[in-house]
Chain A
Amino acid sequence: MPKEPIRILLADDDEDDRLFFKEAFDEIKLNTSVSLVNDGVELMNYLTMDGNQLPHILFLDLNMPRKTGIDCLLEIKQLAHLKDIAIVIYSTSASDIDIEETFVQGANVYIKKPSEFSSLKKILEQVITINWQYQTSGLDRDNYMLSL
């Protein structure tokens, strides 16, 4: 019996980025199922709607219209049934302020969107294969920012 796929959800308003993300997972030889939402509001609707299976890992863009990634992060950590989802911040910027704030608010990993498709594949593969037990319990500031 095949193992249950890792459910992955990406919230990103940028169509191209969603495309790269999807294509990268298509090429990664791992058992994953990727869902996409277009912004923060859609994300929160998706997560709170009955019947939707909750993702194992949520990739969250920060800079989104209507509801930003930080807003979503805050809301998710407020809701009892959502607060245990592993959250990966997936952002263009890697400013100290953003890194600090998302870490404090309980995100688990921070990755900066790479500019090479091969790098994207590599870093996403790294995220999926992380020992999540360790990453979620440790809250290790030094390992928070993930880079190749």
Chain B
Amino acid sequence: MHVKPIFKSAFFLKSVFVLSIFMLLYISSISYKHTKSLNESSDLLVHSYKIQFQLEHVLSMLKDAEAGHRGYIITRNDVFLKPYKSVQDKIYNSYIRLKALTLQDQQQQANLDILLQLIYQRIDLISMSLKGISDRAITEKQLAENLLAGNNVMDRIRIQINKMEDLENSNFKDHQRKYEREVVFSPVSILIFAVFSLLVFILSFIKINNDLQFFKKSNKELLITNESIKQAEIIGEFFTTQQNMSNRELIYSHNLYRLLSCEIHSFVPNLDNYLTFVHPDDRHIVVKEASDAALLGRIDRNFYRIIRKDGELRYFMSLGKFISDHKSKMYIGIVKDITDQHLNNVALEERNHELEQSIKELESFNRVASHDLQEPLRKIQTFISRISEDDKVSLSDKGEEYISKIASSAHKMRILIDDLLLFSRTNKAEKIFEKTDLNLLLGNANQELAPDIEEKNGIIQSSQLPVMNVIAFQIQQLFVNLIGNALKYSKPGVSPLIIIDCEKLAGKNLPVFITDKRKEYYRISISDNGIGFEQEYSEKIFILFNRLHQKFDYAGTGIGLSICKKIAENHNGYIIAEGQSGIGATFSVFLPK
């Protein structure tokens, strides 16, 4: 499971979102500030225009009054005095407005007060001249002086108004400069941030989309895995348990219901409910298993019986393991229905028991057949030997012949019984392997056969044999049997020549019937120049009681080669025979090194 990339992706996305949020906040605050500054500028502009407008208005009213004054002086018509009469109130109104507009500006307020004084001076001059005219107490010269003084005051008023307008303009320009200084980077940086944010969002979208695809794929895989586990549980007849060791929460898989032959979700899957299905005698096993896992953190393989809902008795086996990550420890267990296996085992055990029984019977039969038969046979032989010694003289020729035939038959029977005993001993004797020099065993065998070798004028040629891990007495018996065989089946009138050879074989040099080519084998061959046999009988001669030759031609029980085969098998080896009728036979024994 690719858990890590997902965690990484989540972290990446979280960072991107935090970053984006900060950028958006930044962009918003900048924009807000801009808008605010812009509003301030326009407010300031409007404010400044309002002031200028009021100042111009004051000036124009004053001019109207002055013009009316002049008109009156020329015409002495009262109509011209109309603007003058209302000018004082109007100008005061404007002053109040200007005073309010320049409330924040000390300098402008001072200027305004100076302006008001000048206006009052001008109005006073007008009213002085008007009074002089109406009283007829003013001279032409005095009037001219009054007008000149009025003109001077008017100039000063204009200058004052210009000054105030200039101040207002410069204030606005200052503000404008300050604003421009502040916002000079902002549009570019906003654009950059906006583009960057856009990029981040696009990247995030791609990433989220990829993750989504990945999650879809993972989800699909998970679904498939879940389904295959479910099917595996059904096929394998097991269910799984999960227990979180920190909160003890125990989860059973759904196959639990199937194995208990219950409807799915027909009971709450917990330990207590599960226990009701466990065989009463086995409940302690399941309880102990749960407590061992929880308290000791130990898991053993347990076997217990279950009584299914349909009443059938089943055998369950449970096992599990602990898995842990850095956060928690978990017990994962499987519980398997092993009824079939168990019943097979029981059947197998029964079969085994029967086999053991029959082997025992065979052994006792063998004991009776060989051992207990010896007793009466020995008596027969002893009695015959008594007769032949004491009463030979009084017997007829025929009687003597019969006696000798009885003796010969009894002798054959003895050999047969001895061979049978030997065969069963080869079968079941303790197999003690010892490092033994095979040359020594061959020597012992030759010594044992010495009378026969001498009788037949046999020649034995042997090459150097290895030292091997063998059951010594059995290998010696093998030599005795094979050499004895070669002597026994020699051609009449020909001295038997028996050649014993040895070679080491491995790999592809091994004969086909040895399937394990990794081992090294010694091939020990015993060849003779005897009567041989037809190759078609090469397998048959190793079978118990199988004899190729007429009973009377050659003495033998048909057990010797079976014993050889048994001995080879006891050493995890093989024996084969190759023969040519009238030429000789070769017996090869393959023993693993």
Contacts and interface: CB of A to CB of B under 8 A. Distances in A.
Interface of A: 14, 16-17, 20, 23, 92-93, 95, 113-118, 120
Contacts of A95: 371
9 contacts: A20-B386, A23-B386, A92-B371, A115-B381, A115-B382, A117-B389, A118-B385, A118-B389, A120-B382
Interface stretch (B173-181, B318-326, B372-380): B372-380
A111 B371 CA distance: 16
Q: Closest 6 A-B residue pairs measured CB to CB? A: A115-B381, A117-B385, A115-B378, A116-B385, A92-B375, A117-B386
Contacts of B371: 92-93, 95
A117 B382 CA distance: 5
Contacts of A113: 378
B379 A93 contact: no
How many interface residues does chain B have, given as a range? Answer: 10 to 19
Given A92-B374, A93-B371, A115-B414, A16 B379 contact: yes
A95 B366 CA distance: 14
Interface in B110-150: none
Contacts of B379: 16-17
A143 to B, nearest CB: 19
Interface in B364-408: 371, 374-375, 377-379, 381-383, 385-386, 389
A95 B428 CA distance: 13
A130 B120 CA distance: 178
A116 B377 CA distance: 11
A68 to B, nearest CB: 15
A128 B469 CA distance: 42
Most chain B CB inside 10 Å of its own CB: which residue of A16, A23, A114, A117: A117
B472 to A, nearest CB: 15
A80 B385 CA distance: 41
A25 to B, nearest CB: 15
B509 to A, nearest CB: 40
A20 B374 contact: no
A148 to B, nearest CB: 14
B389 A115 contact: no
Contacts of B375: 14, 92
A14 B414 CA distance: 20
A117 B381 CA distance: 8
A115 B381 CA distance: 6
Interface string B337-380: 00000000000000000000000000000000001001101110
A115 B377 contact: yes
A14 B389 CA distance: 23
A116 B375 CA distance: 13
B569 to A, nearest CB: 22
Contacts of B377: 115
B389 A93 contact: no
Nearest to A92: B375
Nearest to B374: A92
B381 A116 contact: yes
Contacts of B389: 117-118
Most chain B CB inside 10 Å of its own CB: which residue of A14, A16, A113, A115: A115
A20 to B, nearest CB: 6
Contacts of B383: 16
Contacts of A116: 381-382, 385
B378 A92 contact: yes
Contacts of B386: 20, 23, 117
A115 B383 CA distance: 9
A139 to B, nearest CB: 23
A23 B386 CA distance: 10
A115 B407 CA distance: 11
Contacts of A114: 378, 382
